[in-house]
Chains A and B, each alone.
Chain A
């Protein structure tokens, strides 16, 4: 048993790299997901995933399969969409979800247009679904740097971010943190998706961001607790996903995300805060 768990990582460098990459992402993406969920912007992660794809594709068309070009392209495209959507929403004529939908659809169609004009390539599947078993030093460094930067930033803006989610009116009435907090948070979302797509691909990156976060809501009653649970769940899912994909020879990225999905389903059933199974065994009510 111990061998089955440890041997793949002892024997193969690519498994160790994959593990390090996944652990780094598991530390940083779930907290972002928790706040996306608390802001009721869960689907924004998905939209941003699409917004990043064309930028990465353009980077690929210009510079080939270059990590730097694709990351930069993805980051630029994602940031442009997120900031444009955020600023338009600040004007309060249309809500953020509507303005985001508008901008990401433009970005997505522009990307598909460009790729089609320049001829398609099968390697683009790499962008879509990642290649967690082929992470090189540069990719690991990028993922680790993004994880570090985003965790430190999150610590700095934690209180304003909680208030911005809970009671934005109040935050605006006592300080000037509201808009900066919101925009910094959007940048973090994009950064984390860029980090995620190196390993898991643009679509899967959203999964490791959100699935542990929504599952965590069934276990904790405060933002800090949710973040702790979400990170733990993501770490565990990454580890389990890598092992399963190794032993059963199945694609790695989707397996990791499916492990996250299993955690979500399990939480929905067994979570201490509103899990379905607890509802089947109602405890007697208290006196007061």
Chain B
């Protein structure tokens, strides 16, 4: 197994003291293609938010092994994007070059070529000059993938990337993800489609607030594990007792 890209050390994440991800320990190897699976409220998105630094851990530690903002690209589940904004598809995708252009750097001709290549990779070549408001939901998701492509990040986090996307687009996007992996990038994707995970993702993390299973996909997605996952109770208890897991472990 190659060097880790991300390590969780007994990490607990949550909101207002209520844990959403409970005592997770483990490593994501560089170049891994990891699917995160679990019921609603199981902590999948929370885990990704913690990796991008949007959420501070309640306890425990997250080690990114020197990877900073520059190295992580993140496609959130709920994109807070103003689709009515007057901006062209080309300009939107070109924002993926932020790390090179910064706030005021110009786009030289080689950048134009790369933006065009990214658009071609997601089969949107003909739509470059259209406003993003004119795109369908699936086309817009492709635009976001093209932008991710240009970010050229070592770690790519996808939170339910195939929402509202048709089968052909899923196939295209899966191909892109496979390409990322072959380039040695680490990809973590939150997914609901178990069949998709079985087919394309070698490694799976099954979450239900606690880690139910983590490892090679066939050994994780067993009927028993999936049944446990389905019975996960997402409601948190307002009167839950304080968790003493850490102390117990230390004295044990």
Contacts and interface: CB of A to CB of B under 8 A. Distances in A.
Given A157-B103, A160-B103, A177-B103, A165 B80 contact: no
A164 B46 CA distance: 23
A173 B102 CA distance: 13
A166 B103 contact: no
A278 interface: no
B103 A165 contact: no
B173 to A, nearest CB: 18
A170 interface: yes
Nearest to B153: A174
A165 B73 CA distance: 20
A162 B74 contact: no
Given A169-B80, A177-B103, A217-B86, A222 B98 contact: no
B104 A173 contact: no
A222 B95 CA distance: 15
Interface string B118-156: 000000000000010000000000000001000100000
A43 B232 CA distance: 45
B109 to A, nearest CB: 19
Interface in B33-80: 52, 54, 69, 72-74, 76, 79-80
Contacts of B69: 173-175
Given A173-B69, A221-B131, A167 B81 contact: yes
Contacts, number: 65
Given A168-B80, A169-B79, A159 B86 contact: no
A222 B88 contact: yes
A85 interface: no
Interface residues of A, number: 27
Contacts of A38: 82, 85-86
Contact of B87 (A166, A172, A173): A166
Nearest to A155: B104
Given A163-B95, A226-B86, A173 B103 contact: no
A166 B102 CA distance: 17
Contacts of A174: 69, 98-99, 151
Given A167-B95, A169-B79, A159 B104 contact: yes
Nearest to A34: B86
Interface of A: 38, 40, 156-160, 162-163, 165-170, 172-175, 177, 217, 220-223, 225-226
Chain A contact residues: helix, strand, loop or mixed: helix
Interface of B: 52, 54, 69, 72-74, 76, 79-82, 85-88, 91-92, 95, 98-99, 101-104, 131, 147, 151
Nearest to A220: B86
Most chain B beta-carbon neighbours within 10 Å: one of A40, A158, A221, A226: A221
A226 B104 CA distance: 20
B85 A165 contact: yes
A233 B25 CA distance: 61
A159 B105 CA distance: 9
B85 A156 contact: no
A175 B76 CA distance: 16
17 contacts: A40-B82, A159-B101, A162-B87, A166-B85, A166-B92, A169-B79, A169-B80, A170-B95, A173-B69, A174-B69, A175-B98, A217-B86, A220-B86, A221-B86, A222-B91, A223-B87, A225-B86
Contacts of B101: 159
B59 to A, nearest CB: 22
Given A175-B69, A222-B87, A169 B76 contact: yes
Contacts of B91: 222
Contacts of B82: 38, 40, 165-167
A153 to B, nearest CB: 12
A86 to B, nearest CB: 17
Most chain A beta-carbon neighbours within 10 Å: one of B69, B103, B131, B151: B103
Contacts of B87: 162, 166, 222-223
Contacts of A177: 103
Contacts of B74: 173
Nearest to B80: A169
A162 B101 CA distance: 14
Given A156-B104, A175-B103, 8 more contacts: A166-B82, A166-B87, A167-B82, A169-B79, A170-B81, A217-B86, A222-B86, A222-B88
A184 to B, nearest CB: 11
Contacts of A223: 86-87
A221 B130 CA distance: 9
A166 B143 CA distance: 14
Contact of A156 (B92, B95, B103, B147): B103
Most chain B beta-carbon neighbours within 10 Å: one of A159, A169, A170: A170
Contacts of B88: 221-222
A166 B93 CA distance: 12
B244 to A, nearest CB: 30
